[in-house]
Amino acid sequence: MSSLLVISLAAAAVFAIAALGELLEQRAGILNVGLEGVMLLSGTFGFIAAKTSGSYLQGFTVALLTGALVGLLHGFFSITLGSNQVVNGMAIWILGFGLTTYIGYPYTGPLGLKPFPTVAGLPTFFLVALALAIAIWFLLFKTHLGLKLRSVGENPSVAEASGISVTGLRYLAAILAGMLVGLGGAVYSLVYNPVWNYNYLQGWGFIALALVFFSLWNPFLVVAGAVFFGILWQLSLYPELLFPNVFSRYIWRAMPFVITIVVFIVLSTRWFRLRWGATKPEALGLAYQREN
Partner 1 sequence: MPLSAQGESDERSVGAARERSAGRVVLEARGITKRFGTVVANDHIDLTVRAGELHAVLGENGAGKTTLMRILFGELQPDEGEIYLDGQRVRFRSPRDALRHGIGMVHQERKLIPAHTALENIILGHPKTGAILNLREAEREVSALCERYGFRVPLHAKVWQLSEGEKQIVEILKELYHGARILILDEPTSVLSPPEIVKLLESLTRMAKEDLAVIPFITHKLPVVLEHCDRVTILRRGRVVAEMETRHATEQTLAAAMVGREVVLQLERVEVPLGDPIVRVQDLWVRDDRGLFAVQGLSFEIRAGEILGIAGVAGNGQEPLAEALAGLRPVERGTITLDSIDITHAPVLERWRRGLGYIPTERREVGSIPTFSLVDNVLLNYHFEREFSRWGILASGQARELTERILREYSVVAAGPNAPARSLSGGNLQKVILGRVLSRKPRFLIACLPTHGLDVGAAEFVQRKILEAKQSGTAVLLISEDLDEILALSDRIAAIYEGQFTGIVPASEASKELVGELMAGLRRERV
State the minimum distance, in angstroms, from the CB of residue 285 to partner 1.
16
Contact in structure between 132 and 9 (CB atoms under 8 Å)? no
Cβ at position 214, least distance to partner 1 in Å: 19
The angle, 0 to 180 degrees and rounded to 10, between the axes of the packed helices 56-75 and 85-104 is 150
In the bound complex, what is the minimum distance in angstroms from residue 79's beta carbon to partner 1? 19
CA 87 to chain CA centroid, Å, is 18
Hey, is 109 helix, strand or coil? strand
Bridge partners, 195 (sequence order): 110
Q: Would the CA dihedral through 104, 234, 5, 205 be positive or negative?
A: positive
Instruction: Indicate the residue among 4 and 139 with the shorter CB distance to partner 1.
Output: 139
> For residues 168 and 65, what is the distance between their CA atoms, to the nearest angstrom?
19
For partner 1, give the closer residue by CB, 21 or 146. 146
- The amino acid at residue 120 is A
Task: Report which DSSP code applies to 110.
Answer: E
Closest by CA to 14, choosing from 199, 171, 233, 174, is: 233
Instruction: For the CB of residue 187, give the shortest distance to partner 1 in the complex, in Å.
Output: 29
Instruction: Decide whether 128 or 147 has the Cβ nearer to partner 1.
Output: 147
Q: C-beta of 194: minimal distance to partner 1 in Å?
A: 39
- For residues 86 and 194, what is the distance between their CA atoms, to the nearest angstrom? 30
Looking at residue 83, its amino acid is S
Q: How far is the CB of 165 from partner 1 (least distance, A)?
A: 10
Nearer to partner 1, 151 or 260 (CB): 151
Of residues 89 and 156, the one with the C-beta less far from partner 1: 156
Please report how close the Cβ of residue 156 comes to partner 1 at its closest, in angstroms: 10
120 or 161: whose CB is closer to partner 1?
A: 161
According to the 3-state scheme, what is the secondary structure of 28-76? CCCCCCCHHHHHHHHHHHHHHHHHHHCCHHHHHHHHHHHHHHHHHHHHH
Please report, as ranges, the residues that interact with partner 1 according to CB under 8 A: 141-148, 150-151, 154-155, 157-159, 161-164, 270, 273-274, 277-278, 281-282
Which C-beta is closer to partner 1: that of 114 or that of 275?
A: 275
